[in-house]
Structure 1
Amino acid sequence: MEKNKTGKYFKYAIGEIVLVVIGILIALSINNWNENRKLHNVELSLLLEVKSNLEDTLNSFKNDTLINRNSILQFRKIEHYIDEDLPYNTELNTAFGWIGDWQSPYPITTAYTTLKTKGLDIISNLPLRNKIVSMYEFELIILINDYDKGEWSNLQAFNPFIYKHISSRNSKQAAAPNDFESLKINKQFSNILGRIISQREAGLFFYKEAMISIEELIKHLDKELIFRK
């Protein structure tokens, strides 16, 4: 009888252990599911933020290109007056006011900064992750380094001449040459104007390339967000 009781108790103990192990495994599984769900929600939230930042950046870049393109038209107007040897007209005040001024690219990177802090591997879609990294670590950097730094370099080089020969007016972005007739035959001024136009036109190209890439990345983000919902 004692042996039978011992056998039953042993089987009961084994059963209890099995139930405890199963309970632990179920709890771990639920916990893992919850953690994965949390990571999933964080990932989708970050992707939405990245998309929002890119949309705002795209709108900002579109505005920048409109303004920079207009500045080129203004500088071409000065060239026209010089080429045709026309007398000064106050319509050139705006054009001269734009010399030494331009729209710099300011991409919004708050979401990407957060993403790097949390770890880039939180983005489970590897090709999408690589596209996001390429955008912020390469393509936008090209726009800033190859275009905007060139504008700043021109400004530093040309400022002494500009301050000497061109005076600001009271209204915003208005200026006029101290002596337009002498400026028309000044080769240094012609070279400066040509350099500014060339740099600004290069900027439009870099802006265009960046905007195309941003639009494509936004489309990829849209697909991912729709698929993951």
Structure 2
Amino acid sequence: MTENRVSKYLLYAFGEIVLVVIGILIALQVNNWNEERKERRVEKKYFHNLKNDLYTDMEKLEYMIGISQDKVEAAKRVKRKADRDSIGSLYDFSRDLMDLIFVDEFRPDQNTYEEMKSAGNFSSMKNDSLKLKLINLKKTYTEIASAQEHMRYDFNVFLEDFEHYVDWGRYYDLNRSDIPNLVLVYDSVNITKHAEDMKAEVRDLLRNKVFLNNIFLLEINYSYNLNTLKNTRQQITEIIDILDEELSRE
């Protein structure tokens, strides 16, 4: 009888141990599940913010693509006038030169990306494809910044040479212009009055090899920039598609 009670006791104790172990495993599993849910909530918050940043970058890209296209076309028109030794309209000439003179740069919004890296959330990202595409986009942004720095130097050389030939102040009436919004109003009376002198300035400019070489460089630089910006737009589109998939998942 004693041996029978001991066996029952051992069986009962073993059952208790099994139940305790199962309880601990369940508790650990629930805890892991809760932690994964927390991490997923944090990750989705980052994904949402990343998507907003990329949409902002996309708007900037579209704007810069338009500027680059305008510059490439303006450079081609100036080169054609030089080849034909034809000035054409002073108004058309000034519009082309304004397209070439106006400068802006693409500055991406990388706040969420940098925050993810500094907080250690980027390395723990589970979607390896998304991670790789974000790394490649960061490299592209660095390349764009480097190219823009190079173009900034070429532009300054172009502007310095251009200012030696053309009296830009005779083209516009600054009192009637909206300077903050870059809306310049022509001084048509002044242009008509000094038309021959101004055409002589343009004629000398279009025969200047340094100026024409600068126009050639601007066309090359912005053609390259245009291609890079379009490729970047495609990169961003692919990343946004992945983010949409991630945000749709529970």
TM-score by length of 2: 0.74
Match in the other structure for 2:3: none
Please say if residues 74 and 100 of structure 2, whose CA atoms lie closer than 8 Å, have aligned partners that are also in contact: no
In the alignment, what sits opposite 1:135?
A: 137
1:158 aligns to what SS in structure 2?
helix
Q: Where do 5+ consecutive residues of structure 1 fail to align? A: 1-5
1:109 matches 2:110: yes
Contact 1:54-1:214 within 8 A present in 2 as well = yes
Aligned counterparts of 2:40 and 2:128: Cα–Cα separation in 1? 15
Q: CA deviation at 1:8?
A: 10
2:40 is matched with which residue? 40
Query: Partner amino acid for 2:238?
Result: E
How well do the aligned residues superpose, as a CA RMSD in angstroms? 3.2
- Of residues 210, 220, 223, the one that matches 2:232 is 210
Which residue type is aligned with residue 126 of structure 1? Answer: D
Note the alpha carbon deviations across 1:150-195, whole angstroms, 9 max, x for none. Answer: 2112123334313323435434376997811211211111111111
Say whether residues 1:123 and 2:125 are aligned partners. yes
Distance in 2 (CA, whole Å) between partners of 1:160 and 1:92 is 18
The 5-angstrom pairing of residues 156-167 of structure 1 reads: 156-166=156-166, 167=168
CA contact (8 A) 1:75 1:197 kept: yes
Deviations 1:122-173 (A, max 9, x none): 311222212222212x12222222x312211212333431332343543437
CA displacement at 1:53 relative to structure 2: 1.8
- Residue 213 of structure 2: which of 183, 186, 191 is its match? 191
Residue 30 of structure 1: how far off its partner (Å) = 2.7
Which stretches in structure 2 are left out of the alignment for 5+ residues? 1-5, 192-197
Question: Following the alignment from structure 2 to structure 1, what is the Cα–Cα distance between the partners of residues 158 and 70?
Answer: 20
- What is the percentage of aligned positions where both structures have the same residue? 25
What aligned pairs does 1:15-30 form with structure 2 within 5 A after superposition? Answer: 24-30=24-30
Distance of 1:216 and 1:37 partners within structure 2: 26
Checking the alignment, whether the CA contact within 8 Å between 1:94 and 1:173 is kept in structure 2 is no
Q: Secondary structure at the match of 2:163?
A: helix
Amino acid at match of 1:127: S
Distance, in Å, in 2 between the alignment partners of 1:82 and 1:173 is 27
For 2:58, give the aligned amino acid: L
Shift of 1:43: 1.1
Q: Which moved more, 1:196-205 or 1:20-29?
A: 20-29
Whole-angstrom CA distance in 2 between matches of 1:223 and 1:25: 32
Q: Answer whether contact 2:133 2:235 (CA < 8 A) is retained.
A: no
Cα distance in 1, alignment partners of residues 7 and 27 from structure 2: 30
- Measured at CA, do residues 35 and 114 of structure 1 come closer, stay the same or move farther in structure 2, by a change above 3 Å? same
Give the conservation status (yes or no) of the 8 Å contact 1:68–1:103.
no
Asked if 2 retains the 8 angstrom alpha-carbon contact of 1:39 and 1:122, the reply is no
